[in-house]
Chain A
Amino acid sequence: MTAPTHDTVKADEAEADAAADVAKKHVEGRSLGRIAWARLKRDKLALAGGVTVAVLILVAVFAPVLTALIGQDPNEYHQDLIDPLFGTPTGSFGGMSADHLLGVEPVNGRDVLARIIYGARVSLLVGFLSALVAVVLGTVLGILAGYFGGWLDALISRVMDMLLAFPQLLFIISLIAVVPNSMLGLEGTGVRLFVMVLVIGFFGWPYIGRIVRGQTLSLREREYVEAARSLGAGKRYILFKELLPNLIAPITVYTTLMIPTNILTEAALSFLGAGVKPPTASWGQMLNTAVRYYDQDPMFMLVPGIAIFVTVLAFNLFGDGVRDALDPKGTR
């Protein structure tokens, strides 16, 4: 029999009682989400990560406003600031000055800060949208596999295994090489962004799908699902009202941890020349240029490198915090 031993029941009850005591002050019940939120607020590192992420999002959204504020355009050439002999910025630290706070690019002298600001747009756009694609695909297919089982599960699971074993970077690079310059009313960088979002999302869904499938497999055996069935609930009610609310937490955790991975993939693709097209600014592309000048102008490599590092770190800290807040015992 699977009945818990009295010891665990007692412990659980003590915990529930403690929770009930805490909750006495509240007329409202405290949902698991609200408890997690309270826990997250106490986690300093996660908060720092979360604030950084929020700032990054604001920077990306208000990029035109910010660049107007600093009085720089990301695509404006400042050849007067470039040493004609070496092609590197004149002045120290990559040409840092009051006008150009983070210096200028080698060769054409575009403002680095303005390009970093605009680069955040590409990184976050691709990071978020591809995660969205992965979450939608992964959730739907994961639930279907887990809930219905049988041949559908076998099929979806095999596809996930295959995709996880696939050399995705190579695939994306070759795919980018063959997509036309304009499609579906998009041009140049638009096409590249579209393809990156779709393809990164497509290779990302099995990570979500596996988690969701596993969770669904265990959730569908819970007695509350039987209780709903014994009240006459159909499949749709069970999937959306009983199972999905319990999947939100793991999906949230894996999404916050997937976004930085996707940002790194975008940076790698842009670095390899398979990302957005010039002159659109992106951090990976800046790194690519920087490699050629790194002995003369190490500053120019450092800046986009730090931007990527800080972004990925912030997302990871926040994601870890969310995970700990939702699952303090680390049972997942």
Chain B
Amino acid sequence: MTNPEGADAAEPAADSTADSAAQEDAVASEANAESAAAVTMTSEDAAPGEILLRVTDLKKHFPVTKGVLKRQVAAVKAVDGLDFDVRAGETLGVVGESGCGKSTMGRLITRLLEPTHGTIEFEGRDISHLGTAGMRPLRRDVQMIFQDPYSSLNPRHPVGAIVSAPFKLQGVRPEGGVKKEVQRLLEVVGLNPEHYNRYPHEFSGGQRQRIGIARALALKPKLVVADEPVSALDVSIQAQVVNLLDDLQGELGLTYVIIAHDLSVIRHVSDRIAVMYLGKLVELTDRQSLYDGAMHPYSKALLSAVPVPDPRGKAQRGEDRILLQGDVPSPLNPPSGCRFHTRCWKATRVCKNEEPPLLQLRTGHQVACHHPENHEDQRPEDTELLSVAEKTADELDSERSAIEQRDREAVGKP
């Protein structure tokens, strides 16, 4: 692979004098040498802690169209401006209720969806708008584990075909042959390698999810995005699958983005946790700071919903269970200002009028809230709480327009 910029630099040399051409050549070859160095650097695994994936102002709006002419009348703002990094070797947990745009985010960074706005950089390379062909080589490095083990495996394909599809599609010939490698992978994820010829319906949900994990790991990816990998599984086997993911991370040096709708699943395995609400990040910090001092009221509410084995611990922390009222409002017409204000018990006038920016309030601890918990108030002057009636009205407002939209809606294709 040559650096396109290096090639560009050499271009004008063609019509200049021989002398300067030689000079330009020297410059160009220097640039090439530099780019070669850069390429070798990026093609090696990023050292632990280096930034593997960087997302900047990422948005995905699904158009809502109307009529035969498919005129766009509105947009579902599923993801509406995300900024975060994923560092090599870490596990980033992404948490938020259903409908907050987590899956959309996962499908954006694996480029199953094309962003409406913003950039996704993988190992320093902008992949935001690469096409199917452009993405193909990168597919080896970024893989996904899906939520529903009953839908993520093709019922017509035997397990061997499912786990060997990555080799076929990427034209990779593993050492010792495909069959042997597939059997090795099955063993790695804790399945009987003799079951190569079985079909998905002959396995339980947990076993199927292991097959999905084997498929995702076949090409030795660098980044694995797991979209609620255990939420469809029986509680009794959730831990086994999470532990498997955790073990494999250590063995294979993987970087994970694990999505979950509550904190119970990811709290043990995440290094950092990003809390998402209605298409935005509301808090991003390392696990310990989140548990010790969550600042965003929404994070607090999610934390309080996690069952604690020792109730005294909870009492000591002085926490009562915070019950979130209602559902996530529609991303078709999100509430004004802070999107959480319709459900927030601390909401004031400024929360309704001004959107709180995501700010680093402590080292490595970003929060988007005017009146954070466990931290000094950002807008101490604004003390009058919004009335319940007003918040409910705002929520209904968002809901009503969503229902009106749904009545006419033909939601556009992704």
Contacts and interface: CB of A to CB of B under 8 A. Distances in A.
Interface in B136-194: 136-137, 139, 142-144, 146-148, 150-159, 165-166, 169-170, 194
B413 interface: yes
Interface string A220-263: 00111011111111100100001001101000000000000000
A30 B234 contact: no
Interface stretch (B28-36, B44-52, B200-208): B200-208
Interface stretch (B73-81, B225-233, B239-247): B225-233
B360 to A, nearest CB: 31
B169 to A, nearest CB: 5
A29 B186 CA distance: 15
A83 interface: no
Contacts of B156: 31-32, 245-246, 248
Contacts of B199: 29-32
B66 to A, nearest CB: 14
Nearest to A31: B199
A23 interface: yes
- Chain A interface size band reads 35 or more
B391 to A, nearest CB: 24
A17 B68 contact: no
B162 to A, nearest CB: 8
B216 to A, nearest CB: 8
A293 B165 CA distance: 67
A309 B235 CA distance: 56
B13 interface: no
B134 to A, nearest CB: 10
Interface string A1-28: 1111010011011001101100100011
B165 A228 contact: yes
Contact of B139 (A6, A16, A154, A231): A231
A248 B157 CA distance: 13
Given A16-B205, A20-B203, A242-B154, A6 B234 contact: yes
B144 A230 contact: yes
Contact of B198 (A1, A6, A23, A222): A23
B40 interface: no
B59 interface: no
B197 interface: yes
Nearest to B153: A224
B154 to A, nearest CB: 4
A149 interface: yes
A150 interface: yes
A102 to B, nearest CB: 47
B139 A230 contact: yes
A3 B112 CA distance: 20
Nearest to B225: A230
A224 B159 CA distance: 13
Contacts of A150: 70, 413
Given A16-B202, A32-B156, A232 B146 contact: no
A24 to B, nearest CB: 9
Contacts of A23: 198, 202
A28 to B, nearest CB: 5
A4 B154 contact: no
B119 interface: no
14 contacts: A1-B99, A6-B234, A9-B205, A13-B205, A16-B203, A17-B204, A20-B204, A31-B199, A223-B152, A226-B144, A226-B152, A233-B169, A234-B132, A246-B156
Ranked 6 nearest A-B pairs via Cβ: A29-B198, A1-B98, A245-B156, A223-B152, A232-B136, A232-B139
Given A2-B148, A31-B199, A237-B169, 12 more contacts: A4-B148, A16-B202, A16-B204, A19-B202, A23-B198, A29-B197, A31-B156, A224-B152, A226-B144, A227-B152, A232-B136, A245-B154
Interface of B: 68, 70, 98-99, 107, 110, 112, 132, 135-137, 139, 142-144, 146-148, 150-159, 165-166, 169-170, 194-195, 197-199, 201-206, 212, 215, 219, 228, 231-235, 261, 413
Interface of A: 1-4, 6, 9-10, 12-13, 16-17, 19-20, 23, 27-32, 149-150, 154, 222-224, 226-234, 237, 242, 245-246, 248
